[in-house]
Structure 1
Amino acid sequence: MNAFSSYAQQHDSGISHQLPDNLNYLCDINLEKPHFLIEGILPRNGLSAIVGPSYCYKTFIALDMALSVAACLPFHEMDTQQGTVIYVNGEGRYGIMTRINAWCQSKSLDPKRLPFILSKSPINLRDPAELAKLLDIYQNIPDVRLIVIDTLNRNAGGMNENAPVDMAEFVNACSSMVHHFDCAVCVIHHTGKDTSSGARGHSSFYAALDTEISVKKLGDHDVQMICSKQKDAPEFETMQFIAVSTLDSIILEKTETRKANSKNKLTADQKLALECLQELIEANTATNGDVAGKNVHLDKWRHEFKRRHTGDNDKSKNTAHQRARNTLVSLKFVEVKDDFYSLGDKTT
């Protein structure tokens, strides 16, 4: 009788045979479907990355996710699990705080009431002493659900990103946080000069990821969030956002997903919204003249759209108008200033 046959008999008899914590026989493994911190996007326990070139709204997407988790709000209709967020910020508090305040303003929330921890400066995660201080937070705050590292370069102690040993030290530090807090760790990282080649640095970083989110900017105001890796679940569908000015910063509002070079074919809701705006402008112009009549306030446009839309309820009509409006602006059919809308170059 071999060792496993002996173990199997003991197992069937209810006798426990202790193995090291990280080793199990197949008969002792009970697999569960992956659990998500953000539905279908961010695993509850794992390492993820948001990757893209500079100035493509990576931090805005990360903050949108992180603040949604802290506030227990859906991330653009995707359910979240609420918990404390630790945001390891490597690029200055002032800019991050203006973005946080803008997001909270858009949700009518007080940022001071959110379980959101923001670092004063970068943390060298490859330094065992600094990593230990971060892990010690668990003693007082056991409900950490998400740790955001912004960015890899700023929080890795000047590592050589192309060196396998240096990258392994960084990845191991991230894995330590995942297992210690039983949480999600999300790293913001840059692409190289060839953006099509993915994340900058050694390939072991990509290999270690459970989820990779690639960020692609379209034009001046639009950005796409693309799933470029989802190890243990189906890849989520590409999401597209438009940057909207709020306070001294911007927020991202979801809009229709489109290809960068596709023909601008409008949906039924977009056609209805554009038609409503055109008719309101025509009526305004007839009454107030060309200059005063060419702009229509958001409330008036939305009211006319909802009056003619066939949605089931007021909420669905508001959502349909918001998405159609954002897309029309991003496609330059419509222009906006201070909540007053006019026809864009592609329409006139």
Structure 2
Amino acid sequence: MNAQIDRINGKAEQAEARDITPRPSRFNVLSRQQLDELPEPTWLVDNVVPSEGVGLIIGQSTAGKTFVALDLIAHVLLGRAWFDHQVTPSRALYIGLEGGPSRIRKRIEAFENLHDVRIPVESIFDSVNVADDDTLADLCNVATDYDLVVVDTLAQAAAGCDENSAQDMSTVINALQRMQRASGGVILAVHHLGKDTTRGARGHSSLYAACDCVLAVTQNGQMRTVSNDPQDGGKLKDGEPASHTFTVASYADSAVIFPADGQAPDTPKLTPNERMALDTFDAAVSDGEAEDGGWLHLDAWREYYYERSTADTKDSKAKAFKRSRDSLSNYGYINVSNDYYSR
């Protein structure tokens, strides 16, 4: 026992001789009492989206991810319940990197016209790359003014990064977390499902693992579902699993979300040719012909339509295809940008 005391005293004397003084730690060490005094988790959207954290809105190319994102933003800005979940009124920023501002403006205007409101949404449509240090620093500065930031899509915001690389995805995750710390709110990134939809978000599994919440958007015919239930591909760390069905119906030169128990406006009945055009569009997308973001080139769509058309001549097929294409665009079933189309 005395020998142990002597060794301890000896080490103390050596430390004193080297004049070692404790340095402040950069880590915030919490006592057990301080842990008890931490506030309870709070919600931006009750039991669905936390007030703080990083999350995803995932789904197949035509499932309606951007519709869900914009609908969520609108309800947060207006302080209105979202699918019966209470909402904390908050400032929100939409970073739109696919489709362009005109398409997004039409969708926002359709929501405004339907609900007779003005949505004070703020948006960025400039190209961004969260893997670039200077760009990320600028985004962090911007994010400080918002409680909710939606990045649509993650693939466009991380151009050049390999989604299947643990190292690259670590960079992306770190970028989203830095934006979150700057904001103090929640960052939601719109992302695609992988080819195997049962395995969740496309790319390395570390992305899903790092998320505090995931909203999975799926489609079955005209009916669509948004869910945070892990069984549906969603995720939640607190709260209760929630799943809601909805439709996307054309309205005011675009389309809007209607809950399954809500009343959608009357939509024009499609002619057989218009229905065939829409079906062939979906078939081409389902076969993997669409590019990132679900945008299908006119040539790819035309090939599928011509194969199914029973018109006698190529000219007749061309005229029927154009009429159907124009009608679907006017009805709000599809969006168009420089010979590329999306749902």
CA shift for structure 1 position 143: 4.4
Match of 1:156 in 2: 158
Contact 1:38-1:80 within 8 A present in 2 as well: yes
Select which of 163, 166, 169 maps to 1:167. Answer: 169
CA shift for structure 1 position 77: 2.4
CA shift for structure 1 position 21: 4.5
Match status 1:235 vs 2:248: no
Match of 1:278 in 2: none
| Whole-angstrom distance in 2 between the partners of 1:202 and 1:338 | 42
Q: Secondary structure at the match of 2:191?
A: strand
Deviation above 6 Å: which 4+ runs of structure 1? none
| Whole-angstrom distance in 2 between the partners of 1:43 and 1:129 | 28
Contact 1:189-1:200 within 8 A present in 2 as well: yes
Match of 1:225 in 2: 226
**Which deviations, in whole Å up to 9, do the C-alpha atoms of 1:280-323 show, x marking residues without a partner?**
xxxxxxxxxxxxxxxxxxxxxxxxxxxxxxxxxxxxxxxxxxx4
| Whole-angstrom distance in 1 between the partners of 2:267 and 2:179 | 45
CA shift for structure 1 position 147: 0.5
| Whole-angstrom distance in 2 between the partners of 1:105 and 1:158 | 39
Contact 1:85-1:144 within 8 A present in 2 as well: yes
Match of 2:104 in 1: 96
| Residue correspondence of structure 1 range 75-224 to structure 2 within 5 A | 75-91=82-98, 92-111=100-119, 114=120, 116-137=121-142, 142-219=144-221, 221-224=222-225
| Whole-angstrom distance in 2 between the partners of 1:42 and 1:89 | 20
Match of 1:310 in 2: none
Contact 1:82-1:145 within 8 A present in 2 as well: no
| Whole-angstrom distance in 1 between the partners of 2:111 and 2:127 | 23
Q: Secondary structure at the match of 1:144?
A: coil
Q: Aligned letter for 2:32?
A: L
| Whole-angstrom distance in 1 between the partners of 2:70 and 2:257 | 10
Q: Secondary structure at the match of 1:118?
A: strand
Match status 1:49 vs 2:24: no
Number of equivalent positions: 243
CA shift for structure 1 position 178: 1.1
Contact 2:148-2:186 within 8 A present in 1 as well: yes
Match of 2:13 in 1: none
Match status 1:68 vs 2:75: yes
Pair 107,337 (structure 1): closer, same or farther in 2 beyond 3 Å: closer
CA shift for structure 1 position 231: 4.0
Q: Which runs of 5+ in 1 are unaligned?
A: 1-16, 257-322, 330-335, 340-348
Contact 2:214-2:236 within 8 A present in 1 as well: no
CA shift for structure 1 position 20: 3.5
| Whole-angstrom distance in 1 between the partners of 2:77 and 2:128 | 21
Contact 1:34-1:232 within 8 A present in 2 as well: no
TM-score (norm 2): 0.66
**Which deviations, in whole Å up to 9, do the C-alpha atoms of 1:122-162 show, x marking residues without a partner?**
31011110111122226xxx541100010110000221000
Q: Aligned letter for 1:32?
A: P
Select which of 26, 47, 52 maps to 2:32. Answer: 26
| Whole-angstrom distance in 2 between the partners of 1:249 and 1:99 | 6
TM-score (norm 1): 0.65
CA shift for structure 1 position 76: 2.6
Pair 27,19 (structure 1): closer, same or farther in 2 beyond 3 Å: farther
CA shift for structure 1 position 57: 0.3
Q: Secondary structure at the match of 2:54?
A: strand
| Residue correspondence of structure 1 range 29-40 to structure 2 within 5 A | 29=35, 30-40=37-47
| Whole-angstrom distance in 2 between the partners of 1:246 and 1:212 | 28
Q: Secondary structure at the match of 1:207?
A: helix
Pair 337,49 (structure 1): closer, same or farther in 2 beyond 3 Å: closer
Q: Aligned letter for 1:222?
A: M
Q: Aligned letter for 2:181?
A: H
| Whole-angstrom distance in 1 between the partners of 2:240 and 2:160 | 33
Q: Secondary structure at the match of 2:103?
A: helix
CA RMSD across the alignment: 2.5
Q: Aligned letter for 2:90?
A: G
